[in-house]
Structure 1
Amino acid sequence: MNALAYSGADRRRPTGGGAELRLLGIYLNDHLAGATAGTDRAARLARTARGSALGRAIEPVAAEIAEDRTALLDIMRDLGVPVRRYKVSAAWAAEKLGRLKPNGHLVRPSPLGTLLDLEALRLGIEGKTACWQTLGRLGAADERLDLARLAGLLERARRQQETIEEWRVRQAERALAATVG
């Protein structure tokens, strides 16, 4: 059964207390932190690959990832979940620090760096997919969550996964094929 296929007939606003909202806030802020890092990584990859076939494939995905982050912020607002700026800032800083990793090349970009960026994006999109699924399940009991919007976000995340995986496999072959065999 599709995780978002609910009738909505008996949807209502949850009556849970502050503990549930606190946990939901932690959960959504953790996803927002990941979305912040993912948005930056996707935008950087699209910039560095501009003009190539990879760039043409990644540019629309990077734009969608940025839109998905905005959608998450909208959902948090609708649910009354405050943004924890320290988590967003930490994710932003961690993404920047992650660029300093050695990649086998000192001056020019490494094909390994592109592969690792694609793998990081794949993992981030998988996490985002899980978040949309979780919110869809919660939306069955909470009218503040738009099930149709969540279904659209989920479908878009699945398309993003397919695109990123296709290019991840290509990049792995390009970067690593000569090392085996």
Structure 2
Amino acid sequence: MSDYLAIYLRDQHALGVTWRALARRARDHNKGSGLGEALAQVADGIAEDVRTFEDIMRRLGVRPSRVKVALAAAAERTGRLKRNGRWVSYSPLSRFLELEALAMGIEGKKILWHTLGELAGLRDRLPDTDFDELLGRAARQRQTLEPFRREAGLEAFAAKA
């Protein structure tokens, strides 16, 4: 296996752990609503994707990088410090930015599964990994969030600070 693939896997793993944390945080901020239920479903799916990814890494003999995971987690936490139109509370902009970031992460995950299956040749090396199902799951996650992302954007940009 190429050193480049191992580096790529470690980088993508750190990002996946970050998206998982973001999905869980967004879920917790929106409990008791339709969005909260959708985020719970997506957060569970992202957690399953991370487990699948870790299994792929294990089977290829690539260990996750604790340093990269820690740096990605720190970057995600630092990102929370940005202004959201309110000093200490969750705002409509906070909700939109979380959903927007999750949408970008899911789109990136679709690219990731394609890259691993096709460009890195893992579809042949790991024939029991269903890359088509992983791509489909990412598409379903995106479809689940899209109406809420759109609604949150309309609310955030129509809101008065």
Normalized against structure 1, the TM-score is what? 0.82
- What residue in structure 2 maps to residue 13 of structure 1? none
Aligned counterpart in structure 1 of residue 11 of structure 2, from 15, 21, 30 = 30
What's the offset of the Cα at 1:139? 2.7
Distance 1:116 1:128 in 2: 18
- Cα distance in 2 for residues equivalent to 1:178 and 1:120: 20
| C-alpha RMSD of the superposition | 1.5
Identity over aligned pairs, percent: 44
Q: Which amino acid aligns with 2:65?
A: R
TM-score, structure 2 length as denominator?
0.92
One-letter amino acid of the counterpart of residue 132, structure 1: W
Structure 1: 5+ residue runs without aligned partners? 1-19
The answer to which structure has the higher helix fraction is 2
For these two proteins, the number of residue pairs brought into alignment is: 158
CA displacement at 1:28 relative to structure 2: 1.1
Mapping 1:20-169, distance limit 5 Å: 20-137=1-118, 138-142=121-125, 144-147=126-129, 149-169=130-150
Any unmatched runs of 5+ in structure 2? none
Q: For 2:26 and 2:97, locate their aligned partners in 1 and report how far apart those are by CA, in whole Å.
A: 11
Cα deviation for residue 178 of structure 1 reads: 5.0
- Work out which structure has the larger RCO, using CA pairs closer than 8 Å and 6 or more positions apart in sequence: 1
Aligned letter for 1:35? Answer: G
Which 4+ residue blocks in structure 1 deviate beyond 3 angstroms? none
How far apart are the structure 2 equivalents of 1:128 and 1:146? Answer: 19
